Chains A and B, each alone.
Chain A
Amino acid sequence: MRGLAPASATTVLERQRRVSSALWLAGIVGIMFVTLILLGRRHGFGLTDYLQFLVDGLQAGAIYALVALGFVAVHRVTGIINFAQGAFVMLGPMLTITFYGQPLPLPPAPRLALAAALAILMTAGIGAAVHRLALHPARNSSLLTRIIITVGVYLILQGAALLAWGPRPYVLPAFTTLEMGDRSFLLGDVLVRAQSLWIWGTAVATVALLAAFFEHTILGKAMRACASNRLAARLTGIQVDTMATLAFVLAAILGAVAGIVVGPVTRPTFSMGLEVGLKGFVAAIMGGLVSFQGAVLGGLILGILENFWAGVTLAGFKDLFAFVVLIVLLLIRPQGFGGAEEGEGT
């Protein structure tokens, strides 16, 4: 089978199209940055300020990227857009805070690590339950029906969180200092928070682990097979339904990790999943919902765009500008930034 056709057949026309769209992209991005810099000069911004926006944008972007990975994981295997992903992101830090507050005979650092591990485990279990109880029974329904079911699941999880934790904001200690206040470094005049390093590190490690999982483990390859062609996968003996549950477990883990690592930078509360879930969804779409790398790129772009726009113009409009830019980018390159990934099976 292998020698019959190359994995990604690129004709001359395809390559030309790719080059031209890449040029368009570069052009748009270039013009946008020049505009932003010109706008910024009105306020007397210097290089330091722009670097600060970049650093801040990379932090926000890394978070969106982590959340987006969860969307991609579920979509690749089941085709569903999991609107409950934001709830997983919320459950991670909230559960961690609850477990951390328990009187365990451990010093703070291992106690936090243990609390986080327990929270991730529990969220993974909730993810599995969500799939088994709400989505598996609907496996023969249309895609949209299953997507709306995930909306219902989000409502349930957020409502349950409100019951369990109330509406007040909580505090997750920063990983470096193990208290609310965080350490920060000055690189030149640019402020970098210690937690940002944790966020970036987690994002990089997660992407690497995901790539290794999907490329080199049997389980990962089996999940990819389900994404490519469900019927064929089933015919080769892969338990498609189990793979779907595992995809949800993976998404729950990814979401919880994202939430835990961003928790110290914000103040976790029962409704934190909504906004960050939406941004993660947008980032995932930029990657075509099938590409992990594309989702990460999408997340980073979104984060940087937001910060720049907020800094040089009115912050109230930053989402507007970010969305307009993203839509323009999609119009130029409708297949997203997926790169040469396998498509979503026919």
Chain B
Amino acid sequence: MSGRRFVALAVIILFLAVFLPRAAAAHTYKIGFIASVTGPGASLGVPERFVARMLQDRLTGQRGIVGPDKVRHAVEIVVFDDQSSADVAAGLARRLIEEEKVTVLVAGTLSGPSLAMVPIAGEARTPMISMASARAIIEDPATKRMRPWIFKPVPENLHSAQKQAEYLSAVGIRSVCHLYENTAYGQDTFASANAIYPKAGISIAYGDSFDRTGTEFPQVARVRASGCQAVVIGSIPPAASLINVAVRERAARVRIIHGHGACSPDLIATAGRAAEGTVMPCGKILVADQLPANDPVRAFDLRLISDYRVSTGGQPISTFSGHAYDALSWALAALRTLPDGLPLPAARQAVRDALETKIVNFVGTHGIFTLSPEDHLGFKPDDFAVVTVKGGKFVILPRNQWK
């Protein structure tokens, strides 16, 4: 072996030896947290990771959680980046389950990686709470039943489409164009629209994808040629902003409807004036200050928004932070029900059962959740607020103003 190779090998072995995993303190609960911090999902994953860190700081400050038998347990949130890749996510899930011995997984920013982790969590009998939106994550498409080990607090594009259909019907629109970004999320918005709109008497005159990183949008020509009354956009910023601007440039009077993924400060920052007057269903957390005073979500969200701002040094809240917060809150609530001394498989089973039965009227960032064996989501379409952009801000559009 050449000298150089030997040196390199020695360095590698030394590196490994120095960083052996530390033994966890007894009674420490581990939550495995996998988010897409790099790659195309980064704009969703980074806010989620902020929340994980914020909660970890809070837990460390409180010295953990207390079980029903008054025994205190430290909680460690083990954070990994799946690089927006299904392969990496699957490997990380296995690692968290087998090596790190986590009690519960809070994992999956994007649908693809989440779906890859679903069979792993199921086989390993470890509860998993996903932060992605696809229905297939919690529901087996073949049997239409809930997957026993998988949960998610994230609204689906089906709900978003329902809210959109409500609004479109109320304002008398019968024909729309649907433009969606060429990602899993975008495609799902289109599939949801195709499933929901016809039942509300709305036809999709023209539907097509667009390039998330594109600079020109020839789809706009088709929009004009189709004569639709409104354009529904299934995308997140900045792609949603770019197509918004492109449509506005060529068709100044057509209504633009976004999905709930576009309800983010980034939309206004990157679309500017073109976003004025657009309407979209929105998670309550983005308009918390406009919720009625008797809505328990309002106080909850306002507190979270200010905590988040302090913890991250001024970052505005996003809907994805909200999903991460809800997911971790569910996990913590379930862990709190565990008596001390359970072996790991029993602890995982207990968390799963607790999630199904103990999350009742649970105040979250996006609504009040109630889980059950038949519903691992707990979100209803009415938990969405319908907002419009007015004066560069999101403003709730109450039903009586839909016109």
Interface residues of A (CB under 8 A from B): 43-45, 49, 52-53, 56-57, 59-60, 63, 159, 162, 166-169, 171, 179-181, 184, 191, 193, 262, 265-267, 269-272, 275-276, 307-308, 310-311, 314-316, 318
Contacts and interface: CB of A to CB of B under 8 A. Distances in A.
B211 A315 contact: yes
Q: What is the predominant secondary structure among interface residues of chain B facing chain A? A: helix
A63 B250 CA distance: 22
A53 B224 CA distance: 14
B203 interface: no
B266 A315 contact: no
B57 interface: no
Interface of B: 38-40, 42-43, 45-46, 182, 208-211, 213-219, 221-222, 225-226, 237-238, 241-242, 249-250, 266, 269-270, 272-274
B242 A267 contact: yes
Given A168-B266, A169-B266, A162 B42 contact: yes
A181 B274 contact: yes
Contacts of A44: 225
A45 B269 contact: no
Contacts of A53: 218, 221
B254 to A, nearest CB: 15
20 contacts: A43-B222, A43-B225, A49-B221, A56-B218, A60-B215, A60-B216, A159-B38, A166-B46, A167-B45, A169-B43, A191-B249, A266-B213, A266-B214, A266-B242, A267-B238, A267-B241, A308-B218, A311-B218, A314-B209, A318-B211
A270 B238 CA distance: 12
Contacts of B249: 184, 191, 193
A266 B218 contact: no
A315 B270 contact: no
Nearest to B206: A43
B241 A310 contact: no
Contacts of B218: 52-53, 56, 307-308, 310-311, 315
Contacts of A45: 221, 225
Contacts of A265: 215
Nearest to A267: B238
Given A59-B215, A180-B272, A276-B213, A162 B250 contact: no
B238 A191 contact: no
Given A193-B249, A311-B222, 10 more contacts: A52-B218, A56-B216, A56-B217, A56-B218, A169-B241, A191-B250, A265-B215, A266-B242, A271-B39, A316-B208
Contact of B272 (A49, A181, A262): A181
Contacts of B217: 56
Nearest to A166: B46
A316 B190 CA distance: 13
A3 B93 CA distance: 72
A60 B242 CA distance: 15
Nearest to B44: A167
A176 to B, nearest CB: 14
Contacts of B209: 314-316
Given A43-B225, A269-B238, A315 B215 contact: no
A63 B216 CA distance: 11
Contact of B38 (A60, A162, A272): A162
A171 B269 contact: yes
Contacts of B225: 43-45, 49
B215 A63 contact: yes
A169 B238 contact: yes
A280 B226 CA distance: 33
A262 B214 CA distance: 11
Contacts of B226: 43
Contacts of A193: 249
A164 B55 CA distance: 24
Pairs A-B, 5 closest by C-beta atoms: A167-B42, A311-B218, A169-B238, A267-B238, A56-B216
A308 B38 CA distance: 33
B248 to A, nearest CB: 10
A269 B236 CA distance: 14
Contacts of B221: 45, 49, 52-53, 311
Nearest to B318: A168
Given A44-B225, A49-B225, A267-B238, A311 B219 contact: yes
Nearest to B45: A167
Contacts of A262: 215
Given A44-B225, A57-B216, A315-B218, A271 B42 contact: yes
Nearest to B245: A181
Contacts of B39: 271
A269 B217 CA distance: 19
A16 B97 CA distance: 68
A59 B182 CA distance: 21
A181 B182 CA distance: 25
Contacts of A310: 211, 218-219
